[in-house]
Amino acid sequence: MVIRSLALPRYIAGAGILGLALVWSLANAWRHADVIQAADVSLAQALLLVSVGGTLTVCGVWVGVGAVTWTMARAVGARIRFRAALLAVSAATPPLWLALPATLIATDQNSVLAQRLPAALLALVCAGVFLRLLVNTLHAASDFQSWQRVWGCVALAGLFCVSFLSLSLF
């Protein structure tokens, strides 16, 4: 299967998640550099541990978001295989490579507002681009009859994920 809207072969589309995991891990290591320096481990060991943990976390979230997207696509009447939904989500992730570090900066309570506000705006713009790419890749990977159904699927999946996230924060 080729993700037609991005013209990516399957193995490259799947690499989006690995890139996202690497960016997430390195951004977390950068954010917690003081803790890593204070730990009684070498820098290479600390980066390896952070990278493994970050990769497992991002892959788990990927499967969860892919499952929700697949379920919502089925709910609005599309026939799509689970693997195709996972690849569509992965192919849409490159904007999140910027959004995740920007989110870490925006949520850092120790940084000043002048740094946090542009980072938050960048994260929101990147999230919007991700959603648009997800619509394109889902439309290409399935048999959606109309763009409204694809947008409905992404809106329902996004609503579910945001509600889950908000419940986990409180």
Q: Which amino acid is at 145?
A: Q
Residue 55 has pLDDT above 50, yes or no: yes
Mean pLDDT over each residue of the chain, to the nearest integer = 85
Q: Distance between CA atoms of 51 and 29, rounded to whole angstroms?
A: 8
| Secondary structure E strands in the chain | 2-3, 8-9
- The per-residue pLDDT for 27 is 85
- Global confidence as pTM: 0.81
Q: Distance between CA atoms of 23 and 132, rounded to whole angstroms?
A: 21
**How open is the CA angle 119-125-128, to the nearest 5 degrees?**
140
| Secondary structure E strands in 5-164 | 8-9
Q: Distance between CA atoms of 99 and 36, rounded to whole angstroms?
A: 23
Least trusted range by pLDDT, from 2-6, 25-29, 128-132, 161-165: 2-6
Domain ranges of the chain: 7-169
Residue corresponding to tokens 């979230």: 61
Residue 110 has pLDDT above 80, yes or no: no
Residue 14 has pLDDT above 80, yes or no: no
3-state secondary structure string across 82-96: HHHHHHHHHHCCCCH
- Highest-confidence segment of 10-14, 18-22, 63-67: 63-67
